[in-house]
């Protein structure tokens, strides 16, 4: 009876959602993301036998195995965490589109391999991984956590190399460009696939308030984009055009501003917009070693443009906008301030795809979506930075784990997710239910196709810290001269550590 119910649920979902897999792209030209290939070794016996598929049936064939009801346990942040939750992982009762998709994906995978998928939430994932590996008593198989935390575990030898699983990361349910971007010296310790929507939700772009565009009689970012003129200068011109004091003479969240501004080296607008303008924080040489050689002259030019507007009266940061407010109902100041955006107090806010849920009920003309602006109109592509705190997969490095099982389950689980959860989230939940303008949907596709993966920030090389300090203190050359020696030491240590990891 269980199998019949499962098949019925699957047919409903397949008929209701687009059966497309979401392929994440790195810093590539829009529309060319599928041309890149993975840097992983050739697939082994765990690779689906796609050659066995006929012209009539292109369904990939996965290895057969039965694990006798064993649990397949994921340790993760809580699905209800106020920030960076690990949602849509554990099996839920099928009560709506997303929970039905999760239920179908997980149940299909459980029946395929005779397992039980379980999600364990933890506030101390790194400690649990270290203690479990050291003691040889792990009670979980894979990890879903913030990539910065996983990077620290990787360089300490606590994570297993994904390249050793013998999987083909060019399959569309994996992120081939993530595999290429995060590979170091032939090793790959963190990886994204379609099982978790967190990677897709980690890239930041701009939401703009269509009501304020109309009220201030401004040119819409969509118009600039259609004219291939969505540039840093035009973005800043819009930001600088919006400011209204509520009459009390104080700068608070009750006024109207051009930008709800975020500060800091992690997600400060200035850092994200460097990526948008084509700046690379790091690259890899022919040996797979990390190198850092930022274009300081161009960065200084970008910072000068940003400082002239973002440090003026038309912008307000999250702390100032939430100062004195009771935001207990919103979980944190960030959610509270994004509600102020939805209440027409800000023209722009830079955030990720998950924020569509917080602004989808805006009154009037609602919100629009725009990619990060280009440095100039002749820039080849838009670019978007991945939030280093967003979640990604890792695997503990322990002789106690069955890596054949992990490879089989993760591969098939991701494949099932590409047919169910990913389309339900991206095509229906985000595109259809939270977006009412077809052009905004096109913009989401542009963002998804132009995500950049940078190792340096994730693995603790303080390039962004040095650049942010230069921006904040209006002294890029001085900040870089002071911190570049530390960056070089970090690079040397990092490359040596990766070379020594087995």
Query: What does the alpha-carbon distance between residue 372 and residue 204 come to, in Å, rounded to a whole number?
Result: 8
Stretch 298-311: mean pLDDT:
98
Please report, in angstroms and rounded to a whole number, the separation of the first and last CA atoms in the chain. 47
Long-range contacts of 239-246 (CB under 8 A, 24+ apart): 239/309, 239/310, 239/314, 239/315, 239/347, 239/348, 240/309, 240/312, 240/314, 241/216, 241/314, 242/212, 242/216, 242/218, 242/314, 242/347, 243/313, 243/314
* Residue 409 vs residues 55, 196, 451: alpha-carbon distances, Å: 26, 14, 27
- Please report the DSSP string for 135-174 in residue order: HT----SEEEEEHHHHHHHHHTT-B--GGGG---TTSTTB
Give residue 294's pLDDT: 92
Domain chopping of the chain, boundaries: 2-14+68-201+388-436, 204-385+461-500
- In contact, 147 and 388? CB cutoff 8 Å: yes
Same CATH topology for 2-14+68-201+388-436 and 204-385+461-500: the answer is: yes
- What average pLDDT does the chain have? 88
pLDDT in tens, 195-236: 998 887 888 999 999 999 999 999 999 999 999 999 999 999
- pLDDT level of residue 48 (50, 70, 90 thresholds): low
pLDDT in tens, 148-203: 999 999 999 999 999 999 999 999 999 988 999 899 889 999 999 999 988 878 88
At the topology level of CATH, where does 2-14+68-201+388-436 sit? Answer: D-Maltodextrin-Binding Protein; domain 2 (3.40.190)
At the topology level of CATH, where does 204-385+461-500 sit? Answer: D-Maltodextrin-Binding Protein; domain 2 (3.40.190)
Helix (H) or strand (E) holding 64: none
Give residue 35's pLDDT: 32
pLDDT in tens, 445-482: 899 889 888 899 899 999 999 999 999 999 999 999 99
Give residue 33's pLDDT: 33
Q: Which residues of 175-186 are buried (b: 16+ CB within 10 A; e: fewer)?
A: bbbbbbbbbbbe
- In contact, 426 and 433? CB cutoff 8 Å: no
pLDDT in tens, 74-98: 999 999 887 888 999 999 889 999 9
pLDDT in tens, 307-362: 999 999 999 999 999 999 999 999 899 999 999 999 999 999 999 887 888 888 89
Q: pTM of this prediction?
A: 0.80
């Amino acid at each position: 009876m269980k199998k019949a119910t499962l098949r019925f649920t699957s047919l409903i979902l397949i008929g209701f959602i687009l059966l497309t897999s979401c392929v994440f792209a790195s810093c590539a030209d829009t529309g060319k993301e599928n041309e890149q290939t993975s840097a992983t070794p050739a697939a082994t016996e765990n690779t689906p036998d796609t050659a066995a598929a006929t012209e009539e049936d292109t369904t990939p064939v996965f290895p057969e195995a039965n694990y006798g009801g064993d649990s397949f346990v994921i340790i993760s942040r809580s699905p209800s965490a106020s920030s960076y939750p690990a949602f849509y992982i554990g099996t839920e009762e099928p009560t709506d589109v997303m929970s039905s998709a999760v239920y179908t994906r997980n149940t299909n995978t459980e029946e395929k391999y005779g397992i039980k998928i379980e999600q364990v939430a933890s506030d101390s994932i790194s400690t649990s991984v270290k203690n479990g590996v050291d003691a040889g008593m792990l009670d979980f198989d894979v990890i879903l956590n913030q990539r910065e935390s996983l990077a620290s575990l990787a360089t300490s030898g606590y994570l297993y190399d994904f390249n050793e699983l013998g999987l083909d990361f060019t399959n569309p349910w994996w992120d081939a460009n993530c595999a290429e971007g995060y590979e170091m010296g032939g090793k790959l310790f963190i990886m994204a696939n379609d099982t978790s929507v967190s990677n897709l939700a980690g890239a930041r772009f701009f939401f703009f308030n269509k009501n304020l565009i109309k009220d201030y009689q401004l040119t819409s970012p969509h118009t600039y984009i259609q004219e291939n003129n969505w540039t840093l200068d035009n973005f800043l011109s819009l930001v600088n055009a919006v400011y209204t004091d509520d009459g009390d003479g104080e700068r608070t969240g009750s006024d109207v501003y051009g930008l709800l501004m975020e500060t800091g080296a992690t997600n400060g607008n200035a850092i994200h917009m460097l990526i948008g303008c084509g700046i690379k924080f790091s690259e890899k040489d022919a040996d797979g070693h990390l190198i850092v050689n930022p274009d300081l002259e161009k960065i200084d030019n970008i910072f000068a443009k940003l400082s002239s507007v973002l440090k003026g009266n038309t912008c307000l940061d999250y702390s100032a906008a939430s100062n004195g407010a009771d935001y207990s109902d919103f979980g944190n100041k960030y959610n509270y301030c994004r509600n102020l955006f939805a209440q027409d107090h800000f023209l722009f806010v830079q955030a990720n795809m998950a924020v569509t849920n917080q602004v989808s009920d805006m009154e009037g003309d609602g919100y629009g979506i725009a990619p990060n602006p280009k440095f100039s109109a002749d820039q080849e592509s838009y670019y978007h930075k991945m939030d280093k705190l967003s979640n990604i997969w890792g695997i503990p490095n322990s002789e106690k784990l069955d890596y054949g099982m992990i490879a089989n389950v993760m591969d098939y689980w991701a494949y099932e997710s590409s047919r169910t959860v990913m389309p339900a989230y991206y095509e229906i939940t985000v595109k259809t239910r939270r977006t009412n303008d077809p052009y905004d949907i096109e913009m989401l596709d542009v963002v998804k196709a132009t995500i950049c993966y940078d190792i340096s920030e994730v693995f603790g090389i303080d390039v962004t810290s040095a650049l942010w300090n230069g921006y904040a203190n209006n002294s890029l050359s001085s900040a870089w001269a002071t911190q570049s020696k530390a960056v070089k030491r970090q690079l040397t240590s990092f490359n040596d550590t990766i070379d020594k990891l087995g």
